[in-house]
Amino acid sequence: MGFLDYQVECTIPKDDGTLVSYVGFRIQHDNARGPMKGGIRYHPEVDPDEVNALAQLMTWKTAVADIPYGGAKGGIGCSPRDLSKSELERLTRVFTQKIHDLIGIHTDVPAPDMGTNAQTMAWILDEYSKFHGHSPAVVTGKPIDLGGSLGREAATGRGVVYATEALLAEYWKAVKGLTFIIQGFGNVGSWVARLIHERGGKVIAVSDVTGAVKNQNGIDIPQLLKHKETTGSLTGFSGGDSLDPSELLVHECDVLVPCALGGVLNRENAAHVKAKFIIEAANHPTDPEADEILSKKGVIILPDIYANAGGVTVSYFEWVQNIQGFMWDEDKVNKELKRYMTQAFHNIKTMCQTHHCNLRMGAFTLGVNRVARATLLRGWEA
């Protein structure tokens, strides 16, 4: 199935009674390997090209992780910050009414993304269930009380750490004793930092939009988390010195983990990167020119399409639990996640050996091959 791009108009009364309209959309890329899967974002600037790319990325990502899904993406062009909770609820319900025939347990399973969260998923589930009966498996990333999975909150960060361990094992190294720099201290970055710290890795610098902090002897991550919770910022932390955020990416370290925005490694700074390993926890943090410069320098890059697949993998576990009507404990979720991430790494590695290519090419080759095989087996390709 090629790209299908649906757009719907969502009109709601605001709290003051005036009517306002927003454009909602859902892009479905491919369903050869199973129902489509992808986030729903609420964001004022919805760039159709970016959303198309993200829908496509989900197709390859689920194939690399070997979970039975295809790719999709959707959202509403709005500023969630400017809407009250009840306005957001009305908007989400109207959007769900308009797309309830496009999504479904075995068709297309949305999840949270920028500007949406577990509460948004709860509203979608409730509205969808009015049409189709109670269907917890129609969305993932739900609150635990409505069939959300334990371990979902930490899943992307935990997957990044399992991926990192699999990569380091190839070089006879472990997390313990290596130095790490983490860009971005949101959901993913803070979990990566916490789990690296627990495993005896030294997190020597961290940054987010509020600033950056460094400590050559390793930052006390639990203390930094407390500091950020109380002050809302990384600045003023007593357990480290402040650092110019632009220097973070080129600071001396063993492993660099970009967990924030795309395109942060580019032709301007790539030549100055001192890390030996880059773990792409963000989507597209390395632009193509930087990729080339870093490869020539011998830097090992673990590609986003694999490194941050922990989130969608645990979303798959949530869906499985909902369909069975049987929930797992957190240990089982984490154990299964480790199994999937480790297996995927070995499959990528095999591709790299067969085709003499780097990890990014290996991962894409693996993903595209799996989708192509499913497409042929279904008899879709003339």
- What is the rounded CA–CA span in Å between residue 307 and residue 324? 28
Q: Is the separation of the CB atoms in 211 and 234 below 8 Å?
A: yes
Token pair in block for residue 153: 């909150």
Q: Is 73 a catalytic residue?
A: yes
Widest Cα–Cα separation across the chain:
65
**Which residue has tokens 């920028």?**
114
How many Å apart are CA 307 and CA 20, to the nearest integer?
40
On whether the CB atoms of residues 131 and 141 are closer than 8 A, the answer is no
Strands 211-214 and 19-30, sheet pairing: unpaired
The answer to whether 69 and 62 have CB atoms below 8 angstroms apart is yes
CB 337 within 8 A of CB 313: yes
Selecting among 14, 73, 202, 214, the annotated active-site residue is 73
Backbone angles phi, psi at 334, to 5 degrees: -65, -35
DSSP code of residue 148:
P
- Residue 214 counted as an annotated binding residue: no
Give, rounded to a whole angstrom, the gap between the first and last alpha carbons of the chain. Answer: 13
C-alpha distances (whole Å) from 74 to each of 43, 54, 98, 372 are 11, 10, 13, 24
The answer to whether 187 is annotated as binding is yes
- Any known ligand binding at 86? no
Ligand-binding annotation for 276, yes or no, is no
Beta bridge partners of 4: 28
315 annotated as a binding-site residue: yes
Residue ranges of the annotated binding site for substrate are: 37, 61, 315
Catalytic residues: 73
Residue ranges of the annotated binding site are: 37, 61, 156, 187, 315
Residue ranges of the annotated binding site for NAD(+) are: 156, 187
